[in-house]
Amino acid sequence: MNILVTNDDGITAPALYGLRESLKELGRVFIVAPDRDQSATSHSLTLNRPMRIDRPEPDVYAIDGTPTDCVLVSTHGLLPFKPDLVVSGVNRGPNMGDDVFYSGTVAAAIEGAFQGLPALAISLVVSGVADFTYACAFARSLVDTMVERGLPPKSVLNVNVPNRPAAEIKGVKVTKLGMRVYEDSLIERVDPRGRNYYWIGGDAPIWQPEPGSDFLAVDEGYVSVTPLHLDLTDNALRTRLEEWRLKP
Ligand code: MN
């Protein structure tokens, strides 16, 4: 089995190599990752300039592109073999609830699914000192089960792991995406040349503690596994929309 490991934190992120260590018993691991931090780039593609690809060591590639670029080039001839599976992460920081729309980590897994591969995204829910040991071990056991059981097309698993040692993990919960309370703010400042500049800021996200949500599971010390479906069509609204009798 050929396993593609990617991320959005960039090629220097230690968790990439932790994942490689834990997954190498299952097959040959290729790391193809952005050459710098590409967090929150979502599903963007590089189309308006050429990309450069470095190979700092065998089976490790650094691309001056996005996580989606990494999966696309890996499934279109960069690697000697087409990967059988995509693992994206382990991201430094959560990817829960509505935040999956911004996440480059989740986007890379989604791209894997678009390319017809089983794929999972995994993130460590941490803001300070991170210990990726347990998350990497969990990824291995989940990959094992995912390969055995299989995933339907156009679906991915989104995993969030509490930042705790293995002994303090309470279990695994299958969850739904939680709801974030948006507290983003726009900060306006003036640069030394008198021009305004802007930062998107805000405090740490606040979540609604909904039963069954990814946020609540992690908060209670469980690994959260959320199945995501990539058909965004709202079929209930589709039926109602028919009743609008839209005119040309
Ligand atoms: Mn990231």
State the Cα torsion 133-55-108-76 to the nearest 10°. -140
Spacing, Cα 247 to ligand 1 middle (Å)? 44
* Model pTM score: 0.95
Please provide the CATH number assigned to the domain covering 2-178+209-243.
3.40.1210.10
- Report which of residues 204 and 170 the model is more confident about: 170
**Domain residues of the chain, as ranges?**
2-178+209-243
pLDDT at position 181? 84
pLDDT over 80 at 204, yes or no: no
Spacing, Cα 240 to ligand 1 middle (Å)? 38
Residues with CB under 5 A from ligand 1 (ion): 8-9, 39, 91
Spacing, Cα 67 to ligand 1 middle (Å)? 10
The rounded distance, in Å, linking the Cα atoms of 192 and 190 is 7
Spacing, Cα 248 to ligand 1 middle (Å)? 44
Spacing, Cα 40 to ligand 1 middle (Å)? 7
133-143 in b/e form (b: 16+ CB < 10 A) is ebbbbbbbebb
Q: Identify whether the C-beta of residue 231 lies closer than 8 Å to the C-beta of residue 219.
A: no
Spacing, Cα 241 to ligand 1 middle (Å)? 37
Spacing, Cα 91 to ligand 1 middle (Å)? 5
pLDDT at position 209? 85
Mean pLDDT of 77-93: 96
4-34 pLDDT, tens digit per residue, is: 999 999 999 999 999 999 999 999 999 999 9
Spacing, Cα 3 to ligand 1 middle (Å)? 20
- Side-chain-side CA neighbours of 218 within 13 Å: the count stands at 28
Spacing, Cα 95 to ligand 1 middle (Å)? 9
pLDDT at position 98? 92
Spacing, Cα 236 to ligand 1 middle (Å)? 33
Spacing, Cα 10 to ligand 1 middle (Å)? 8
For residue 179, which phi and psi values (nearest 5 degrees)?
A: -110, 130
pLDDT at position 201? 81
